A and B are shown apart, each in its own frame.
Chain A
Amino acid sequence: NAGVTQTPKFQVLKTGQSMTLQCAQDMNHEYMSWYRQDPGMGLRLIHYSVGAGITDQGEVPNGYNVSRSTTEDFPLRLLSAAPSQTSVYFCASSYSFVSPYEQYFGPGTRLTVT
């Protein structure tokens, strides 16, 4: 049982490039989400999904796309990277979005956009 896995661990992009951050979980969790963490800012919700085929925007969705074709995977796409997207990205999952709300976080992807 690997829990929540994220790839890559580090990535450097040039402005305007696109890429996909991968997230997978093997716990059969319904709820998956993406957060970004900036220094002194805590974690902010980008997008989330309550099941395959269902996604919705979080607090800071601009510049990011998501899709959920399977229960296990929830990739985050940056269509045209900008320096403001330099951050650490965390994927999380939980069995359900109702109480108890125990979210399991992946190890993170550290992204730098130059």
Chain B
Amino acid sequence: GQQLNQSPQSMFIQEGEDVSMNCTSSSIFNTWLWYKQDPGEGPVLLIALYKAGELTSNGRLTAQFGITRKDSFLNISASIPSDVGIYFCAGLDRGSTLGRLYFGRGTQLTVWP
């Protein structure tokens, strides 16, 4: 199957700091997605990217679809305590007969007040 490498594995930051995380793949994806998971809940979609080079924002979150189509990154500006959670990248494999979503292993974000 597809391998998505997400880094860092965990981050401990102070409230107000900016955060960066990224995801790389061994193969090309047509769509990159970023999800956030709160404890005890299912993942919630934050940002979807559909074109190489695309830069998309959602409030304090900004994500980019890498030009090579093998990577994506997510930035969170001016972090707040409710940003705590696990952030997952996911790539959509449109090359298969039916689109299949592959997930990274997640970045655990902790924000200190």
Chain A residues in the interface with B (C-beta under 8 A): 4, 33, 35, 40-45, 48, 50, 56, 58-59, 90, 92, 97-108
Contacts and interface: CB of A to CB of B under 8 A. Distances in A.
B41 A45 contact: no
A44 B103 CA distance: 7
Given A42-B105, A42-B106, A101-B99, A106 B42 contact: yes
Given A43-B88, A50-B98, A103 B41 contact: no
**Which range contains the number of B residues in contact with the other chain?**
20 to 34
Nearest to B104: A42
Interface of B: 1, 4, 6, 9, 30-31, 33, 40-45, 48, 50, 88, 90, 92, 94, 98-106
Contacts of A108: 40-42
A59 B33 CA distance: 19
Given A45-B100, A101-B31, A107 B92 contact: no
Contacts of A106: 42
Contact of B103 (A42, A48, A97, A98): A42
B77 to A, nearest CB: 24
Contacts, number: 63
Nearest to B33: A101
Given A40-B9, A99-B92, A101-B101, 20 more contacts: A40-B106, A42-B103, A42-B104, A42-B105, A42-B106, A43-B90, A45-B101, A45-B102, A48-B98, A48-B100, A97-B99, A98-B99, A99-B31, A100-B48, A101-B48, A102-B45, A103-B101, A105-B43, A107-B41, A108-B42
A105 B33 CA distance: 14
21 contacts: A4-B42, A40-B9, A40-B105, A41-B105, A42-B4, A42-B88, A42-B106, A43-B90, A48-B98, A56-B98, A58-B100, A90-B42, A97-B98, A98-B94, A99-B30, A99-B31, A100-B50, A102-B48, A105-B43, A106-B42, A108-B40
B50 A105 contact: no
Contacts of A33: 101
